[in-house]
């Protein structure tokens, strides 16, 4: 049993000052009490507690190639998502389970350093280098769960159904580690992944489709209908213009248009990227109560485009954030990039808003928290609640801009004017993980550096 004392704690309706949070041995909140400033308490944290950030979209292995796809030969060569994908294939074909675990452990530790306490791992490197299933179908998934356990954050493992090489195309040889040829094989993988999650109390399961080009569309509709109905359902969709064009040619429909017509969407569905939408598609997603996962740093890096956030929010659409390829890991930067992209194309400043919430910073934190939790299969809407795990991102209260801000301006100061140096670490499921003070830091770093040397890709 522990008690944490914060200078401030953010709840849905605003800040509570001088709060003592008592947790049980499982990290669940037993009490939330405001204390007098004069109280002499041990365990005082000179910081403000935000709800722990939810990373709703991650490809852990891609962390090993972050920053390596920026060298372009000549000026006439076309370089876009599809050439980046070839570099990604080469990395995916190279690594073994030990290397996957080392990369993911380093990544998840870095996520914790930046304020994330949970990650949705969109996992599709399933087989060995020759494309053969491991004896344990979820060998790679189990390594990701082990990585999250070592790093101390929660994980929602989403084994991905990947069947095709494109609309109407057989998979290519470079995709051999990803492929489940049919629904039955995918359901076996899903069951094995469920078993892998049992070895970590903060691991759970999601269901996922790589994309409409990656699985035959009628199979997507079938798995949505017959697959487990109590799991979050994740899918890449409409990320690239070529994907939209190919879908129109193959199906006579845009990807989201087809999905809205053929799948009964609800709030367990998370459409990742959804960059290129018509007004009708934005309205349809919002009305279905499905959610969108936005990954601004990766979407910017890949040149995907800008999601139509203003139109989507106007319809009441809900969104969360993810770091995808991990070229950026700070959730506050993800929120800023998302907002500033909208400002640049609209020439207006108030991108983050709703009829109930006029505070841009508070609105961003609320959306990223509550919708992000849904992506993890957690429908708790209270930021901090008795009986729920204590998951918090701690902001340094002595940082000049933070120390000088009124509570009224604090949320937006944190979102718009802070950096990673102002973050003291996280409390994940009741356990504090301080920035650069993890006992296992040196082992995690050493294993990662050795892995990169072995892969010879940097």
Tell me the C-alpha distance between 295 and 303, whole Å.
12
Instruction: Identify each DSSP E strand in 39-153 by its residue range.
Output: 44-51, 53-58, 116-123
How large is the angle between the packed helices 331-346 and 360-375, nearest 10 degrees?
120
Burial of 71 (0-12, 13-18, 19+ CB in 10 A): exposed
Diameter of the chain measured on Cα atoms: 69
CA atoms of 368 and 330, how far apart (whole Å): 13
Token pair for residue 57?
């979209």
Determine phi and psi for 160, rounding to 5 degrees: -100, 135
C-alpha–C-alpha distance, residues 431 and 258, integer Å: 44
CA distance 431 to 117: 11
Number of residues that this document lists for the chain:
458
Which tokens belong to 85? 């994908």
What residues act catalytically?
273, 324
Alpha carbons 304 and 294: distance in angstroms, whole number: 11
- Indicate the SS3 state at residue 100: helix
Tell me the C-alpha distance between 55 and 324, whole Å: 9
Is the Cβ–Cβ distance between 121 and 155 less than 8 Å? yes
How large is the C-alpha radius of gyration of the chain? 22
Lookup: tokens for 220: 């997507």
Single out the residue of 51, 52, 125 nearest to residue 88, CA to CA. 125
Cα-Cα-Cα-Cα dihedral sign, residues 159, 103, 330, 386: positive
DSSP string across 291-343: EEEE-HHHHHHHT-----HHHHHHTT-EEEE--BT-S---HHHHHHHHHHHHH
């Amino acid at each position: 049993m522990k008690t944490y004392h914060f200078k401030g704690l953010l709840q849905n309706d605003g800040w509570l000052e001088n709060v003592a949070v008592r947790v049980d041995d499982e990290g669940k909140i037993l009490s939330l009490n405001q204390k007098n400033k004069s109280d002499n308490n041990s365990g005082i944290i000179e910081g403000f507690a935000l709800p722990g950030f939810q990373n709703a979209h991650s490809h852990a292995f891609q962390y090993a190639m972050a920053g390596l796809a920026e060298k372009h030969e000549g000026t006439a060569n076309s370089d876009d998502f599809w050439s980046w994908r070839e570099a990604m294939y080469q990395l995916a074909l190279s690594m073994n389970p030990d290397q996957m675990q080392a990369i993911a452990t380093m990544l998840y530790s870095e996520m914790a350093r930046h304020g994330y306490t949970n990650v949705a791992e969109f996992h599709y490197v399933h087989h060995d280098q020759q494309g053969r299933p491991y004896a344990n179908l979820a060998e790679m998934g189990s390594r990701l769960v082990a990585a999250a356990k070592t790093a101390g954050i929660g994980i929602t493992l989403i084994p991905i159904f990947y069947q095709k090489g494109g609309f109407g195309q057989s998979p290519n040889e470079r995709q051999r580690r990803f492929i489940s040829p049919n629904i039955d094989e995918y359901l076996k993988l899903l069951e094995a992944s469920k078993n892998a999650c049992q070895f970590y109390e903060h691991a759970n399961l999601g269901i996922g489709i790589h994309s409409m080009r990656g699985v035959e569309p009628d199979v997507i509709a079938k798995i949505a209908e017959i697959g487990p109905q109590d799991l979050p359902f994740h899918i890449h969709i409409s990320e690239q213009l070529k994907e939209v064009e190919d879908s129109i040619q193959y199906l006579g429909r845009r990807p989201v248009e087809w999905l809205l017509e053929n799948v009964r969407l609800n709030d367990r569905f998370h459409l990742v990227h959804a960059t290129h939408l018509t007004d009708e598609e934005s309205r349809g997603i919002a009305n279905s109560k499905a959610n969108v996962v936005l990954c601004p740093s990766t979407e910017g890096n890949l040149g995907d485009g800008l999601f139509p956030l203003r139109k989507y929010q106007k319809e009441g659409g809900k969104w969360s954030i993810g770091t995808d390829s991990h070229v950026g890991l700070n959730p506050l930067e993800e929120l800023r990039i998302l907002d500033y992209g909208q400002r640049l194309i609209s020439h207006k400043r108030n991108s983050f808003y709703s009829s109930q919430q006029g505070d841009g910073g508070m609105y961003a934190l609320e959306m990223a928290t509550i919708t992000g939790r849904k992506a993890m299969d957690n429908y708790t809407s209270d930021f901090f609640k008795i009986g729920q795990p204590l998951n918090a991102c701690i902001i340094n209260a002595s940082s000049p801009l933070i120390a000088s801000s009124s509570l009224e301006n604090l949320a937006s100061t944190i979102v718009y004017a802070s950096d990673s140096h102002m973050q003291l670490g996280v409390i994940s499921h009741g356990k504090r993980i301080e920035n650069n003070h993890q006992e296992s830091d040196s082992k995690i770093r050493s294993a990662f550096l050795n892995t990169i040397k072995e892969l010879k890709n940097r």
